[in-house]
Structure 1
Amino acid sequence: MTNYRLGVLAGDGIGPEIVSATVHVFKTAAQKAGVDINWIDLPMGWEGIKQYNDPLPEETKEALKETHGWILGPHDSAAYPPEHKVKLNPSGALRHSLDLYANVRPAKTMPGIKSVVGEADLVIYRENTEGFYADRNMYSGHGEWQITEDVVVTSGVFTRKAAERIAHAAFKMAMQRRKKVTIVHKANVLRLSTGLFLRVCREVAEQYPEVTVDDYHIDAMAAHLVRRAKDFDIIVTENMYGDILSDLAGELVGSLGLAPSINSNDNLAMAQAAHGSAPDIAGLNIGNPTGIMLSTVMLMDWLAERHNDPKLKEMGQLVEQGLYQSLESGVKTKDLGGSASTSDFAEAISERISQAVLR
């Protein structure tokens, strides 16, 4: 049996509370499924600044290289000291330095959670390294220049390599689901940049003849999500459009605070909820851990496939099932209209995992 080493970066604000709750339920699931996991706490955010004067210490980055994957809690980089604000935030630094090119964000209706769009089950594949985000499209420096006090110029970077690999990731997942991919772009206006992205995705599509493919402009796609989210399966798009659409989709099916994601390349994966650190409620034990728990379920699925270990997938299924059962029975945190604390919610899930009958 493999001993898995998983990094735990609790982060800022509500991070320590929701990450601790997540590790608690996954320890229960690991025991139930018979999986050996070594959870390795590593400093990040304010804890990194206190210990090493760095929100993402080199010691942490080096330790991550020896793990099978890790959980990244939210960070409050807006509140860091000025000398740290000019750097990439911990999330961006990890995505950039480790080339975690795929940001995968599901949006799925959940039991006991009101959805604005009714039933929906889609996954957004966001290219994570290029596009119009100035902090991710340069080898050195930033892709923004202030020419005069009143004029700013920004750059966007689009390459065939980046488009090809996110497209392949999206189409491979489509083959495991409903075999439908939607490409989102703005090639009618940004003809060279997003035009290249669209063209390369269409070329990749030819290698997956069983998959139905369509494409929409980003503005139209936002409207289609609101009107008929249930019709979409896999959506693939560039960095900024993916960021916007995934936040929209998360809110439409319940709440951005529930939205999970992983960031990955072919060898590494990082679980990271889509929401922020909520410093206003830090330390109150009322933060909702659903997003980071479901992100860790995604991490287990990714690891299960990579290491051909069905017990990891079983772990994720135990947590997901226990979480959904808890929500459906009315065990909810304050943000969802319930009265359960963060730790109460985790304990309710753990109890359901312990009582589950393995197939």
Structure 2
Amino acid sequence: MKKVVLIAGDGIGTEITASVKKILETAGAPIEWIEREAGLGAYEKYDNPLPDETVAAIEEHKVALKGPLTTPVGTGFRSINVALRQKFNLYSNIRPAITLPNVDTTFKEVDMVIFRENTQGLYIGKEHWVDGDDKSHAESIAVVTREASRKIITSAFKYALQNNKKKVTLVHKANILKLTSGLFLEVGREVAKEFPDVEFEDLIVDNMAMQMVMRPQQFDVVVTTNLFGDILSDLASGLVGGLGVTGSANIGDDVAMFEAVHGSAPDIAGQNKANPIALLFSSLLMLEYLDEKPIAENIRKAIYKTLVENKDACTLDIGGKGTTDSFTEAVCSNL
């Protein structure tokens, strides 16, 4: 059995984690769950949205599956998710976006994976007021290092090789941000030479956004910096049905965390309406990380079979008539 820290999170978190647990158990996944708390619920209970025992459990067991978290307002915590990524140096944020059967979208045959550098760039929030109390002039600092760039870009190329992807596209703004984005592009060109069997291209981020909504099928693996990756990965999710149907992984050298990136949806919490697909796909990324790929593939086939043959069992947000429970039961039946 492989021990995995499970953080249900807030809002719909308890419902979708219960669904994922049942499906993985039915599939025979050799997982022992170590349940811990984080988010608004943890803050209300312990006066800390990221309790020490949760951090300690992740340090010990190295793998975590996390539901959506609500960051308490006015507590001094900018983002629990960012804190976890920085604490464990989870430098690779991996977001697949794949067209699903029988999910209504404009775009067909999308199959791309976005690799986002997770610890640097503009997104880390290094900001300050230039004029002190006047607060009329603010500056933000973007950090890009050769080491971190090499790690994420190398991860993208290795993924391409291991998953029979033909091309890696590096996204940047080196025409304007000549030092930070320029360094990222420079390292990308260096790494590309080490993987001659994988095609390499680079695109300026504004052109990339346009190309993604014109011909998203042209992209296989995309690698970019933190802020650009944050935006483009949500765009990619939108191409295939939204954040409710796409999984996410955060991987470092020693620790990995898998999560649903959608919100905690408190407005539907406890109503059996939540769609567990995003967290379920995140758990499949986790199973692949744990060298349980056959089990992950079996679950994926069961999900696809449910979407095709029993759409009414699916939740309302993807055009079904069902509930969290009915979707879970349908996938388990297909397994």
TM interval, shorter chain, is over 0.9
Q: Encode CA deviations 1:273-331: one digit per residue, 9 max, x unaligned.
A: 22111111111110111000001100111111xxxxxxx11221121111111111213
CA distance in 1, matches of 2:318, 2:198: 37
Number of the residue aligned with 1:357: none
1:116 aligns with 2:106: yes
Number of the residue aligned with 2:11: 13
Shift of 1:134: 3.3
Query: Residue 14 of structure 2 aligns to which amino acid in structure 1?
Result: P
* RMSD value, Cα: 1.3
2:295 pairs, out of 310, 315, 322, with 315
CA distance in 1, matches of 2:286, 2:248: 9
Whether contact under 8 Å (1:256, 1:274) holds in the other structure is yes
Number of the residue aligned with 2:279: 292
Query: Residue 146 of structure 2 aligns to which amino acid in structure 1?
Result: R
1:123-162 equivalences under 5 Å are: 123-135=113-125, 142-145=126-129, 147=131, 148-162=134-148
Shift of 1:36: 3.0
Whether contact under 8 Å (1:134, 1:154) holds in the other structure is no
Shift of 1:178: 2.2
Number of the residue aligned with 1:166: 152
Shift of 1:20: 1.1
Aligned residues: 330
Query: Residue 322 of structure 2 aligns to which amino acid in structure 1?
Result: A
2:253 pairs, out of 255, 266, 269, with 266
Number of the residue aligned with 1:241: 228
Whether contact under 8 Å (2:42, 2:51) holds in the other structure is yes
Comparing 326-335 and 45-54, the one that deviates more: 45-54
CA distance in 2, matches of 1:239, 1:181: 17
Shift of 1:146: 5.5
Number of the residue aligned with 2:86: 96
SS of the equivalent of 2:290 reads helix
Shift of 1:203: 0.4
Pair 1:259–1:36, CA change in 2 (3 A): closer
Q: Encode CA deviations 1:116-136: one digit per residue, 9 max, x unaligned.
A: 22111010000000000134x
SS of the equivalent of 1:143 reads strand
CA distance in 2, matches of 1:72, 1:144: 31
Pair 1:257–1:144, CA change in 2 (3 A): farther
Number of the residue aligned with 1:339: 321
1:348 aligns with 2:317: no
Number of the residue aligned with 1:326: 306
Query: Residue 175 of structure 2 aligns to which amino acid in structure 1?
Result: N
1:43 pairs, out of 33, 37, 50, with 37
SS of the equivalent of 1:281 reads coil
SS of the equivalent of 1:55 reads coil
SS of the equivalent of 1:210 reads coil
1:24 pairs, out of 1, 19, 22, with 22
Pair 1:337–1:146, CA change in 2 (3 A): farther
1:283 pairs, out of 260, 270, 276, with 270
CA distance in 1, matches of 2:281, 2:93: 14
Shift of 1:332: 1.5
Number of the residue aligned with 1:254: 241
SS of the equivalent of 2:97 reads strand
TM-score, normalising length from structure 1?
0.89
Query: Residue 276 of structure 2 aligns to which amino acid in structure 1?
Result: P
Shift of 1:111: 0.8
Shift of 1:68: 4.4
User: Unmatched 5+ residue regions in structure 2?
Assistant: none
1:210 aligns with 2:197: yes
SS of the equivalent of 2:174 reads coil
1:61 aligns with 2:51: no
SS of the equivalent of 2:124 reads coil
TM-score, normalising length from structure 2?
0.95
Query: Residue 304 of structure 2 aligns to which amino acid in structure 1?
Result: Y
CA distance in 1, matches of 2:38, 2:84: 11
CA distance in 1, matches of 2:40, 2:176: 42
Shift of 1:206: 0.7
Shift of 1:81: 4.9
Whether contact under 8 Å (1:76, 1:279) holds in the other structure is no
* Percent identical: 40
